[in-house]
Homo-oligomer: A and B are copies of this chain.
Amino acid sequence: MTMPVRPYDAYAPATIASRQVAEIVEALRRDIVSAAIPPGAPLGQEALAARFGVSRMPVREAIRHLEAMGFAVTESNKRTRVAELSREDLIDIYEMRAALEPLALRAAIPHLTNAQIDEAAAIQASLAGADALTFGQLNQAFHMTLYRPSGRARLLAQVDALFNAADRYLCIAKSPPGQREKSDREHEALLEACRLRDVDGAAAVLLAHIGDARGVFEMLDWG
């Protein structure tokens, strides 16, 4: 299964009106997540307009979306810059994930169909051997597939945003050996609990899974 161009709707809290803007946002999101454009780097409107072959107007829109996603920061009259990464932010992201994702999963399981569980399983299967950027997207898709039946728009949007935020850290972290396998096992356990419609069991597995993922990042050493 090859990863199609990711529909922006998959992670957009607010839908993006214009296709053009959506493409710019997606391109920049990838560049920022992969650190091709590193933290602190300037995102000049004119330079981006030239790069994408459009006027500054759609670029401005895109930048606003990146700001809303927490990927960029702008001070008045100054050039937008890629948001910095920090240990505190990482902790923030994982505490919020741990608080919100079980909520989404619990609300989703009663509405979860077998087809949806199979869909998640298919994504999990396609996850083998993916590079960090693709892994992040597929992992996100896997989880969101299980949460989406909850129908909680606001909650889903926030969880999605947290995955995006975590992606940036995931891409710079070097996973210890065996991490992927561990994650795989946890995903399988999660699927199994979902198949049994075991709400408490699934929530417990999920919480442990999130905690584990956080543990990986804790290995990053910075201030």
Residues of A within 8 A of B (CB): 13-15, 17-19, 60-61, 64-65, 67-68, 70, 73-77, 88-89, 91-93, 95-96, 99-100, 103, 151-155, 158, 165
Would you give 29 A-B contacts (Cβ < 8 Å), ordered by A? Answer: A13-B68, A14-B70, A14-B73, A14-B74, A17-B74, A17-B75, A17-B76, A17-B77, A18-B76, A61-B64, A64-B64, A64-B68, A65-B68, A68-B68, A88-B151, A88-B152, A88-B153, A89-B154, A91-B152, A92-B155, A95-B103, A95-B152, A95-B155, A96-B100, A96-B154, A96-B155, A96-B158, A100-B100, A158-B158
Which 4 pairs between the two chains have the least Cβ-Cβ distance?
Answer: A14-B67, A68-B68, A92-B154, A99-B99
Chain B residues lying within 8 Å of A67, measured Cβ to Cβ, are: 14
Is the Cβ of B75 less than 8 Å from the Cβ of A15?
Answer: yes
Kindly report which residue of chain B lies nearest to residue A64, judged by CB atoms: B64
Q: How far is the CB of A62 from chain B (nearest CB, A)?
A: 11
Copies of this chain present in the complex amount to 2
Chain B residues lying within 8 Å of A74, measured Cβ to Cβ, are: 14-15, 17
Chain B residues lying within 8 Å of A17, measured Cβ to Cβ, are: 74-77
Is the Cβ of A152 less than 8 Å from the Cβ of B92?
Answer: yes
Q: How far is the CB of A73 from chain B (nearest CB, A)?
A: 7
Is the Cβ of A89 less than 8 Å from the Cβ of B153?
Answer: yes
| A91 CA to B100 CA, complexed, in Å | 14
Chain B residues lying within 8 Å of A151, measured Cβ to Cβ, are: 88
Kindly report which residue of chain B lies nearest to residue A150, judged by CB atoms: B92
Is the Cβ of A68 less than 8 Å from the Cβ of B154?
Answer: no
